[in-house]
Amino acid sequence: MNLRQLGEDRLLEQILPRLARTPRVLAGAGDDDCAVLEFAGAGQLLLLKTDCVVEGVHFTSEAGPRAVGWKAMARPLSDFAAMGGVPQFALITLLVPPSKASRWISELYRGLEKSARAFGVAIVGGETSCIEGPTAISVAMSGAVERDRRISRHGGKPGDELFVTGRLGGSIRGKHLRFTPRIAEARWLTEHFRVHGMMDLSDGLGADLPRLARASQLGFEVDESAIPKTRGCSAKEAISDGEDYELLFAIAASESQALRHRWKTKFKSLPLTRIGRFIPKSGTRNQRLPRGYVHFQ
């Protein structure tokens, strides 16, 4: 059965009862004109992010709908990780051709749900609209961060050491659909260390590291041989491939040793690698990295 045959009301009847709720959800998907939610305490800041995956751009027509759902939710979650934030509520906008099998949509929601539940997020609303074109799924995420644990991109200082989690490159071979947003790692970092600047790697280290440096008006130098490469990837691929969804962050050199030691104990299966450091912007050793993924090209 496709969407045109099923109709919106019956689609919602299938999807809504399954959605995860949390005690903070006073009115969720389908309950009212807006979702109504208990926000965290006064010491918290509100975080908002929206991210979209489009068929043919972020996933192929052959990709399994559960994996697509996981990815659609995990992308904004990765941005929450980059802020040291706690994700809480998601709204889903689904644009699909009316000929789309309702089973595909149902499986997509299973993937969205799985990813949401894994990170304590409640899906509290959204919309399904028909479009004669490729399928697109947009997830708008809201959440909170403690005022004193907020990490911006702007706090870097010359001499700060640069770290990345995991291994870079080759995401297109499958990781781009199955990655784990580094929420737990980011929360642990901001609990125990002063992180001077952090972002998630979505466009490739070669595009994202210059952005992070620029945000603090700094230059950088990178030991290319130190960059942790996915098995089978060249250094160039590790730098240029997009969609790693790993964390890139800067921390004072004085904290670097303690960080490496404690990380190994805490996150045994996820490598943390020092790849370089921030230098003053006028530094003549500022490197040119191969550029990462650029949209519209």
Q: Which residues contact 82 (CB under 8 A, 6 or more apart)?
A: 151, 186, 198, 199, 200, 247
d(CA 73, CA 115): 6
Asked whether position 50 contacts its own copies by CB under 8 A, the answer is yes
Least distance to its own copies from the beta carbon of 49, Å?
4
With beta carbons less than 8 A apart as the criterion, state whether 178 and 248 touch.
no
| Nearest CB to its own copies, comparing residues 201 and 251 | 201
d(CA 16, CA 257): 48
SS3 annotation, 197-209: EEEECCCCHHHHH
Applying CB under 8 A, what is the total number of residues that bind its own copies? 69
Asked whether position 127 contacts its own copies by CB under 8 A, the answer is yes
Q: Which residues contact 7 (CB under 8 A, 6 or more apart)?
A: none
Asked whether position 16 contacts its own copies by CB under 8 A, the answer is no
d(CA 104, CA 33): 27
d(CA 204, CA 294): 9
Least distance to its own copies from the beta carbon of 87, Å?
9
Q: Which of 16, 20, 118, 130 binds its own copies (CB under 8 A)?
A: 130
Asked whether position 98 contacts its own copies by CB under 8 A, the answer is yes
Asked whether position 269 contacts its own copies by CB under 8 A, the answer is no
Q: Which of 16, 20, 22, 44 binds its own copies (CB under 8 A)?
A: 44
d(CA 188, CA 227): 23
DSSP, res 166: S
Q: What character string, x for contact with its own copies (CB under 8 A) and - otherwise, covers 148-177?
A: --x-xxx-----------------------
Asked whether position 74 contacts its own copies by CB under 8 A, the answer is no
Asked whether position 95 contacts its own copies by CB under 8 A, the answer is yes
Q: What is the phi-psi region of residue 101: left when phi exceeds 0, alpha when psi lies from -120 to 50, beta otherwise? A: beta
Which residues make up the interface to its own copies (CB under 8 A)?
3-4, 6-8, 26-27, 31-39, 41-42, 44-52, 54, 56-57, 79-80, 82-83, 85, 89, 91-93, 95, 98, 124-134, 136, 138, 140-142, 144-145, 150, 152-154, 199-200, 294-297
